Amino acid sequence: MVEFKTNYQSLIENKDWKTLKFALNEFDSIQIAQIIEDISEDEEIIVFRLLSRNQAKEVFQILSHSKQEQIIEGLALNLKMLSNLLNDIEPDDRTAFFEELPGKVTQRLIQHLSPDEREITLQLLGYPEDSIGRLMTPEYVAVKPQDSVEHAFEHIRRYGRDSETLNVIYVVDNDWKLVDDIRIKEVILASPHQRIDDLMDYRFTALDVMDDQEVAIKKFKDYDRVALPVVNGEGVLLGIVTFDDIMDVIEEETTEDFHKFGSFQGAIANPLKEKALGLYKNRIVWLVALVFMNVFSGAAISNFEAVIQSMVSLVFFLPLLIDSGGNAGAQSATLMIRSLAVGDVKITDWYKLIGKEIIVSFLLGVTMAIGVAAVASFRAPEIVIVVSITMVLTVMNGSLIGLLLPFIFTKLKLDPATASAPLITSIADICGVLIYFSIASWIFGI
Amino acid sequence: MVEFKTNYQSLIENKDWKTLKFALNEFDSIQIAQIIEDISEDEEIIVFRLLSRNQAKEVFQILSHSKQEQIIEGLALNLKMLSNLLNDIEPDDRTAFFEELPGKVTQRLIQHLSPDEREITLQLLGYPEDSIGRLMTPEYVAVKPQDSVEHAFEHIRRYGRDSETLNVIYVVDNDWKLVDDIRIKEVILASPHQRIDDLMDYRFTALDVMDDQEVAIKKFKDYDRVALPVVNGEGVLLGIVTFDDIMDVIEEETTEDFHKFGSFQGAIANPLKEKALGLYKNRIVWLVALVFMNVFSGAAISNFEAVIQSMVSLVFFLPLLIDSGGNAGAQSATLMIRSLAVGDVKITDWYKLIGKEIIVSFLLGVTMAIGVAAVASFRAPEIVIVVSITMVLTVMNGSLIGLLLPFIFTKLKLDPATASAPLITSIADICGVLIYFSIASWIFGI
């Protein structure tokens, strides 16, 4: 890999475009895309222009969104290539590219599309964001139930070239309503004289064009399909979604969940490429919100000034106790967020889980109280008692907050991952402070 | 769904097996699997026995591991059905099932396999855990470069029925070394008299049988393939891995990362089904470890007893300041763990990121210091100064810990997600306490 890099880098430095063009033929699209991701903006346009029309299309579809934008800008003076490129890329990849551009830029670029492609694109962009309509491609092959296998093959040979996949063939009736999907394996293994409806079991799973993309993820996982058909409310076949688009959505959704749980505003594509200001903006809102939330724990403590004054050593255990509640809460929130995301747990299951959590968190709290009592054993016995009781209560309190918050957010139509580890820690802290000093002032009678 | 459930439940209650057997034909394998997941252990065996041989195989492959085990146990007296089932399921699914069983049970079950299937299974179980060998199936179709397309189709029709997929056809030379993979689309669209090597571009991506499964995830994402070939060190084609197995691995790995970041010991399959004791065991180790770690922050505070005694109001800001450091640290750790997992960032990139993080965390710290100064403005000006300076330093400190810990864990060959939010909070706390009270005792001259 190092040798190959030095090689093309020296060709770029020496502006030896002829040799580079020749060398690029040796690489596959993924490797060319990696080269383009690594080089500067000026160089990437030159390299991109050296590609054949087909290479250009394939490489473009692999590039990151920011590189794609740079390429499109760089081609502004080469209208022929720009137009070819925009028309060549698959409709679903084009939708994904357009939907992240400012509306004005999209409008301008759509002008470069052929009337057919323009119609397809405007239609796909008309579906709601995060809907299955935005993921689908209208390029598939459909046959009729009464066709013979031989006839179906002729049809596939004639119309299949533009289809994104021939792994699954769709069967529609005369109103273009979907009646079945057949794996290409069945068609190949059938005898040429069989009819398509001999191969059909009339069992298929379709996606609704208006459904959320999360529904598609679930169905792809459950049904192990490489492609799923997309229908409208009347069951008419509109397009297909292929597994590669779903892999991208899974990665995006997972990253978003992970980042939300770590209290980012939104998902960050790549920290190496993100500008410092972008990172700052994405982090500061939650951090400042948490500062103001933590002010409450300070206010809570200030009510117990007399207790602290007379027993300063109580403060030594403060971070330990409030952290323990937060830690237990982070655990139960993690479990709930992920279980809700993969569908293991539904929002109606919270009451089933709460009983179990009370038992588990009580056991956790008692074990941790024994641990902390051992550490604190050289202190006054009253302190050991206060700290131990507080430990059990804060761990149970934190665990239940961590369990319930993801459900509450789901109920409020928010992503459960909004119940971030820091948010749970902060809420658990306020409660922990109140529990700790209340018990202390009660036991010490202050 | 409700109606359909009441329906089969009343059939089970009335022991009306005949009608139930008939009703089960109406459902697809996913639905039958859902029914079996919902009913009791005794009922599930009865229902399972009602299935046809083909249904039984398909349903079994969808069931959760614990249900699969119950089914196999329940079939112990029905050796014929047990043997059929074990021989029918795909080799890759069988490996996945066997690898989670105790070794003794696996040995016993392997006796029920036919000599051919036994050989395949023993071979697959011979590959290291988490290696690609454990995911692959030896059921694919391979052709020779010199074959005509027509001949290739005949070969596919003859040998393709057992192949897990016909979406990709593999081309091997006379030593069974892989020379290319061709999408079925290319073969279908070619003319019957073309030779296979006319369709070949000799560019393919293969997986090494000993490679870690994470390598496979990366390649599937990069190359958008529905199946990838698996070769040994000499390039000989051993099997294929299909995208559905990869989807399962992605889900497992993501869940594991998520749970580790929330400081679980390991991934929990489904909290609804997990027993309370299992949940306790999975959570307690980290929680107790963190308790002992937090003892250090208590010890740190005890050194500053005099400062606290003379200025109790310092304690009011303690949870706020240490939490802020932990929160900023949770953010940067989240970003790094996810970026390392999806490959956006490599371990060698840490020095590039550290400069950016210093700038970003300084800006974050200053903004948060302004926020907290506004809240504390009615306190003595010295307190406001101490709190503000501490805020900037703890946020920077926490952010850098969060950034570096995932890299350090990777370097130590541990999963970066081991740098859990609670671990970072605890480390940031100890530093935060020291920073806060050191600055306070310096400014107040105590």
Residues of A whose CB is below 8 A from B315: 301, 308, 315, 318
Nearest CA in chain B to A185: B166
Nearest CA in chain A to B316: A298
Distance CA B440, CA B278 (A): 45
Distance CA A294, CA A290 (A): 6
Pairing type for strands B227-231 and A207-208 reads unpaired
A21-50 burial, b at 16+ Cβ within 10 Å, e below that, comes to eeebeebbbebbbbbbeebeeebbbebbeb
The whole-number pLDDT of residue A332 equals: 93
Asked whether this chain's domains A2-126 and A276-444 adopt the same fold, the reply is: no
Architecture, CATH, for domain A2-126: Alpha Horseshoe (1.25)
Q: Which residues pair with B339 in a beta bridge?
A: none
CATH number of the domain located at residue range(s) A276-444 in this protein: 1.10.357.20
Provide ipTM, 2 decimals. 0.78
pLDDT, averaged per 10 consecutive residues of chain B (446 residues), comes to 59 82 82 84 84 86 84 81 83 83 79 82 81 88 93 90 89 93 91 91 90 88 87 90 88 88 84 86 90 87 88 89 93 91 85 92 95 85 92 96 93 87 91 93 84
What the block records as the tokens of B329 is: 């640290």
The whole-number pLDDT of residue B328 equals: 94
Nearest CA in chain B to A152: B188
Residues of B whose CB is below 8 A from A258: 257-258, 261, 334, 337-338
Residues of A whose CB is below 8 A from B419: none
Query: Mind listing the pLDDT tens digit for each residue in A404-414?
Result: 999 999 999 88
Q: Give the CA diameter of chain B.
A: 95
Nearest CA in chain A to B274: A356
The whole-number pLDDT of residue A2 equals: 39
Q: Crossing angle, helix A318-342 and helix B276-302, to 10 degrees?
A: 150
- What is the band of A361 on the pLDDT scale with cuts at 50, 70, 90? very high
- What is the band of A3 on the pLDDT scale with cuts at 50, 70, 90? very low
**Could B269 and A367 be called an inter-chain contact, meaning their C-beta atoms sit closer than 8 Å?**
no
Nearest to A338 among B258, B359, B429 (CB): B258
Min Cα–Cα distance to chain A from B104, Å: 30
Asked whether residue A248 carries a pLDDT value surpassing 90, the answer given is: no
**H-only helix segments in A224-275:** 243-261
Query: Mind listing the pLDDT tens digit for each residue in A40-88?
Result: 888 888 888 888 888 888 888 888 888 888 888 888 777 788 888 888 8
Greater confidence (A276 vs A266) lies with A276
Query: Mind listing the pLDDT tens digit for each residue in A149-205?
Result: 999 999 998 888 888 888 999 999 999 999 999 999 999 999 889 999 999 988 889
Residues of B whose CB is below 8 A from A161: 189
- What is the band of A330 on the pLDDT scale with cuts at 50, 70, 90? very high
Cβ atoms of A146 and A195 within 8 Å: the answer is yes
Min Cα–Cα distance to chain B from A121, Å: 22
Q: Crossing angle, helix B318-342 and helix A243-261, to 10 degrees?
A: 160
Query: Which residues, at least 6 apart from A24, have a Cβ–Cβ distance to it below 8 Å?
Result: A32, A47, A50, A51, A55
Quickly count: other Cβ atoms within 10 Å of residue A175's Cβ. Answer: 8
Residues of A whose CB is below 8 A from B251: 221, 342
Taken in order A427, A430, A434, A437, the sign of the CA dihedral is positive
Q: In CATH, which superfamily holds the domain spanning B142-249?
A: CBS-domain (3.10.580.10)
Quickly count: other Cβ atoms within 10 Å of residue B30's Cβ. Answer: 15
Residues of A whose CB is below 8 A from B328: 283, 287
- Per-domain boundaries in chain B: 2-126, 142-249, 276-444
Nearest to A335 among B271, B342, B367 (CB): B271
- What is the band of A103 on the pLDDT scale with cuts at 50, 70, 90? confident
Nearest CA in chain B to A277: B360
Residues of A whose CB is below 8 A from B364: 280, 283-284, 287
The whole-number pLDDT of residue A1 equals: 40
Residues of B whose CB is below 8 A from A221: 247, 251
**Could B312 and A309 be called an inter-chain contact, meaning their C-beta atoms sit closer than 8 Å?**
yes
CB pairs under 8 A between A and B: 333
Asked whether residue A5 carries a pLDDT value surpassing 70, the answer given is: no
Q: Give the CA diameter of chain A.
A: 95
Nearest to B259 among A223, A338, A364 (CB): A338
pTM of the entire predicted model: 0.79
CATH number for A142-242 (one of 3.10.580.10, 3.60.130.10, 3.20.20.70, 1.10.10.10): it is 3.10.580.10
**Could A335 and B371 be called an inter-chain contact, meaning their C-beta atoms sit closer than 8 Å?**
no
